[in-house]
Amino acid sequence: MCLKSQNPYSQPIWISNQLANDSNQRRSGVIAWPGCGTPINGHRPYKYENYAAKRPFDSVLKQIFNWFHEPTDTNINFGVVYHSEPDFTGHRFGPISSEMNKTLHEIDNYVGQLLQIVDSDEYLKTHLNVIVTSDHGMHDVDKTRRIRLERYIDTSLFSAYGGNSFANIFVNNISDIDRIYQNLSVIPNYEVYKKSQIPDEYHYRSNVRIGDILIVGKVGYEIITPGIAETESLGNHGYDNRVESMHPIFYGFGPVFKNNLLAEPFRSVDLYPLMSYILHLNQRQTNGSFDNVKHILIGYQQDKFSKYLVIVCIISVTIIALIFTICAYRHSRQLVYVQSNQVPVEYHLLSNNEEAGSNFLVTDSEDEEINT
C-alpha cells in the first residue's frame, strides 16, 4: 500500500525510468538499496531484492548482470546496487585504521570483478555506462570531542533528535528559545543557530521537521541527545558538506563519458539530471542541474547515447582512500596503505604499468586530463 503522506512529486530514478512515455522497453532492477521495495506513489522497480546484511556483494553483482542478460521481454535497462561498506567499518574503527585498509582491499576486489564482467562482454563494453558513487564521506571522532546536551540545558525545556554531528532542538515553550540559545552558544567547537538564522548554503531551514534551534559540531565533534547512549564509534559524517572529508566520490565510465578526465567537483543532486540524460528521460524539475555535469560527457549535445546504465553505490569513508584504491586496480598498481596510528599526508602509488590507460572519471579540484 502506498503511504498517503508521500509527496506526489517524489520519484526515484528507477521509477522515472519505467514511467517514461516512449516506445522503449524500460525496466529497472534494484538490489539492496534501502527502501527499494517500498512503493512510491504506487510504483516499485520491475525487479528488486531487499537489503540483506550478510549477503556477499559478489552475488549482488552476479544478480544485477543476470537481469541485464535476460530475454528482451524481461531484461532491465537500468540497474542499481548498494553496498554498506566501507561505511560500517568507518563508523566502528575510524577512516584511518588497519580494519579500514582491509575493507578497502575487499571493495577494490569487488570493483575489479565489476570491470572484469564488463570487459569480458563485447555488448556491455559498448552499451553499458557505469557510475560508482557514494552519499557522504567520513571523519575520525572520539570520546574527548563529545558533549551531552543535558549538561548545558534542562531536559524539561526541550526535546531533541539528530545524528551526533548535529541536533535539532524543539523547545516546549517559545519563551525559552533565547535562554537555551545563549547557553549553547558558549560551547566551543559547536555552531548554534535559531531556525531563521540557519545559513542558506545548508538548504535546511523551511521544513517543519527542523527544530527551533540547530546545533552543529565542527568536523570531528559530536552531540549526544538525551536518552541516547554513547557508542564506541571512531568515525562519523553529517558535518558541513564543504569540508573535504565529507565529500563523496564519483567515477563514471562507458560510452557516454570522456576518457581520463579529472573533473571539477559537482553536487550529488546533479546526479539525477545526469542519469536522466543518459537514459533519455525528460528532465524533471529538481534541485540539481544538468549544466553542472554535461562537461564530463562525450558530445553531450548529440542524441546517440546508450540507454543502459548501472549504478554501484559504495558509501564513502575517505574520498582520497577510495579514489586511489579503485584507480590502483584500473592501473594495475599497488596502493601503499597508512598504518592505523598515522594520519596520511599523501598517498603514494607504486606503478608497475605506466602505460596502462583508464577511462574513469573522478571528481577533484581541477578539470584536466590525467597523464598516466
Task: Return the pLDDT at 352.
Answer: 32
Query: How many angstroms from the chain centroid is the CA of residue 26?
Result: 25
Q: Answer whether 270's CB lies under 8 Å from 293's CB.
A: yes
Q: Are strands 222-224 and 361-363 parallel, antiparallel or unpaired?
A: unpaired
d(CA 18, CA 28): 7
Element (H, E) at 13: helix 13-19
Does residue 319 carry a pLDDT above 60? no
Using DSSP's 3-state secondary structure scheme, residue 43 falls into strand
Q: Bridge partners of 350?
A: 334
pLDDT for the residue numbered 327: 37
List the single range of 25-34, 302-311, 321-330 with lowest mean pLDDT: 321-330
Residue 40 is given by DSSP the state: B
Tell me the residue length of the chain: 372
SS3 content of the chain, % helix, strand, coil (to 5): 30, 20, 50
Q: Cα separations (Å) of 168 from 154, 207, 212?
A: 15, 12, 7
Average pLDDT over residues 309-321: 51
CA–CA distance, 188 with 221 (Å, rounded to integer): 10
Q: Which amino acid is at 93?
A: F
Residues 6 or more apart whose CB falls under 8 angstroms from that of 112 comprise: 329
Give residue 327's identity as a one-letter amino acid code. Answer: C
User: Rounded to 5 degrees, what are φ and ψ at 323?
Assistant: -55, -45
Task: Give 315's pLDDT tier (boundaries 50, 70, 90).
Answer: low
Lowest mean pLDDT among 191-205, 220-234, 294-308: 294-308
Distance of alpha carbon 194 from alpha carbon 190, whole angstroms:
13
71-103 per-position pLDDT tens digit: 999 999 999 999 999 999 999 999 999 999 999
- Summarised one tens digit per residue, pLDDT across range 264-292 is 889 999 999 999 999 999 999 999 999 99
Encode 68-98: b = buried (16+ Cβ within 10 Å), e = exposed: beeeeeebbbbbbbbbebbbebbbebbbbbe
| pLDDT score at 312 | 66
What Å distances lie between residue 294 and 14, 178, 264, 270, 278, CA to CA? 21, 47, 12, 10, 10
Q: Which residue has the cell 558533549?
A: 147
Q: Of 229, 230, 228, 264, which is closest to residue 247 (Cα–Cα)?
A: 264
Contact 224, 149 (CB under 8 A): yes
What is the side-by-side order of every strand in the sheet holding 190-194?
A: 158-162, 166-171, 213-217, 190-194
